[in-house]
Each structure stands twice: as structure tokens, then as C-alpha cells.
Structure 1
Amino acid sequence: MPETATFRIPKRRQHVSTARQRIRKALADWGITDELADAVTLSANELVTNAVAHCRTSYAEVEVTLTVDGAELLLEVSDPDRDRLPRPHDSGPDEECGRGLALVAALADAWGHRQESYRKCVWARFTLAERLEAAHAPSGS
């Protein structure tokens, strides 16, 4: 059975750190640490920051969902601005922003987005290597 953690934060920059803390705690509760926890947390930081910065709906909330199902972890960040879809672009060397989606693409095994009836969701999928190894390890003797 999948394990899921879901929470919402107000669409304000000062709440991005709250999202990072909640994600770190959920990952630690599931025993996910080290580099993978860093990759998921950094990806979540980028996706939540994008939702906060680009959602044009006033007084919105950003929803974050983490789901662990077998050897897969799915990070989903949703906001109510369903028509403003993420678009990666090449940032110049002097630009201070615009690299978040490229970073997520580099850290995650896959990423994408979907439009729902009243919101959009940007997601990133990660493989839990230690769970794969445990599943394929021979039984103890």
C-alpha cells in the first residue's frame, strides 16, 4: 500500500521554507535520507517556488503531495492556475533565475505536468534505489 503525505501552504514566498521542512520530515519518517532526500527536497523547493512565483490566482494555496509506492517516490506540486503551464528555457549565464525546471530534470528520473479541472500539477518521479536493492536481495540465511 502506498504511503502518502499531503499538505498545503499559502502562496507566499516566506512559506517555501515550511514546505521544505515538511518534505524533509516526511522523507525522514519513511527512512529516505542522504542524496535522495536532498534531490527530492531541492526539486520540491524549485517546484513550490515556481508555483508561488507564477500562479496568478489571488489568495491561492499550493498543495504538495509525496507518495512512496514500492521503489518509486512521486512528488506533486499543484496550484489553481491551471492554464499557466511550466516551460523550461535556456537561461543565459548572467540570468539569476530560470534554471529550476532544468535542475528538476537533472535530479529526477522523470518530470512533467498535467492539467486538471481546476488546477495544474507539476510532478517529479524518483527511484528509491535502496528499496529496489532490498526487494531483489536474497533472503537471509
Structure 2
Amino acid sequence: MASSNPPSPPPGLVALGNCNAATARGPAAVLRSLGTAPSRPPLDVELPAVPEALQGLRRTVRRYLDAPCTDVQLCVTELVTNVIRHVGEATPVRVRVALTDGNRIRVEVMDPAGQALPVPLSGALDAEDGRGLALLDAVALRWGVEQGVDGKTVWCELGIRRT
């Protein structure tokens, strides 16, 4: 004879749909304490890549992080400047800054030129350019490029400095 009652979840687990606000607070607090829940949504800005936009973009990043963030501002500036120089001024870009679940800040700059990949250069001592990716490499924990159907994303991750 088959039972009409659904099986109950094993002890210690909450069945999907049987979770109320009080039940959810415990696991949510644990996840926050482990640093696995971002504390705010990411900053997402779409703009044309022009030199005049860089100062406002740095200011927006600083307001979003609500803390000194010169390394993050440097990375954003260098990545957008690379788009201006190597893809073209006024290219539409999307800049995303997010607090991740490992006490890191992730910066992403997306542009439509999937074929124009960043290449680190060794700038001459008196050169006025060619150091952007070297600076990125120096301040970021890691960085890379993701190619997609609609372009590419150059990203980097930085540690969060606690003061």
C-alpha cells in the first residue's frame, strides 16, 4: 500500500518550499560570516570609452566601494584606456565592479572587439605608454581575458584591504 504523504527530509535539512524567513536566517548568517554572500549588487556602468569619462568613472567606483580604492581605480582606468587606444575612442564599454565571495574585488571591462586581445608590452624607460598591463599585473592578484560571441571581457581581481 502506497503512502500519500511525501517523504520527510533527513534531519537537519530543510525541504525546498518549507523554508520560512526565520528558518532562512540561520543559513544566511552562516553564509555571510563565511564571506560567500556579496553584501551589495555589482556596479554596472555602460559608457563610451572616451578620456573625458575616466575621472567620473573613477569617482563612481570610489563611491560604490565607499573606501579608498586607488588600485581598483587604477585597474579600471588602465582597462578602459586600453579600449580607447587599441579598439577605438567612443567604443561602447561596460564596466563592472563587484565584491566577490572571497574578500576580493573583481573588475571587468567588456568591449565588442573580441579579436583585439590585450598583449603585455615591455615599455621603454622613456616611453609614455605601454605599461598598462604591467601595472595591472603588479596590483591585481590575477587577471585574464574571456572571449565571447559579442566581444571580450578583460578582468582582474584585487584583494580587499582592511584598515
Q: TM (normalized to structure 2)?
A: 0.70
Quote the offset at 1:127 in angstroms: 1.8
Report if aligned partners of 1:9, 1:19 keep a CA contact under 8 Å in 2: no
Report if aligned partners of 1:66, 1:74 keep a CA contact under 8 Å in 2: yes
For structure 1, list consecutive stretches of 5 or more residues without a partner in the other structure.
132-141
CA RMSD of aligned residues (A): 1.8
- Structure of higher CA gyration radius: 2
Runs of 4+ in 1 over 3 A off after TM superposition: none
**Partner residue of 1:54 out of 86, 107, 115:** 86
Moved more, 15-24 or 76-85: 15-24
- Name the one with the larger helix percent: 1
Quote the offset at 1:129 in angstroms: 4.4
Identity of aligned residues (%): 31
Please give the secondary structure, in 2, of the residue aligned with 1:125.
strand
Q: TM (normalized to structure 1)?
A: 0.80
Task: Give the letter aligned to residue 59 of structure 2.
Answer: Q
Tell me whether 1:14 sits opposite 2:55 in the alignment: no
Structure 1, residues 10-67: CA drift from partner, whole Å, max 9, x if none? 1222112222121111111xxxx23xx11111111111111122114x8531110011
Counterpart in 2 of 1:136?
none
Report if aligned partners of 2:145, 2:155 keep a CA contact under 8 Å in 1: yes
Q: What is the alpha-carbon distance in structure 2 between the residues aligned to residue 73 and residue 110 of structure 1?
A: 11
For structure 2, list consecutive stretches of 5 or more residues without a partner in the other structure.
1-36
Tell me whether 1:123 sits opposite 2:161 in the alignment: no
Counterpart in 1 of 2:63?
25
The count of corresponding residues between Structure 1 and Structure 2 is 124
Quick one: higher RCO (CA 8 Å, sep 6+), 1 or 2?
1
Q: What is the alpha-carbon distance in structure 1 between the residues aligned to residue 59 and residue 161 of structure 2?
A: 23
Q: What is the alpha-carbon distance in structure 1 between the residues aligned to residue 112 and residue 129 of structure 2?
A: 23
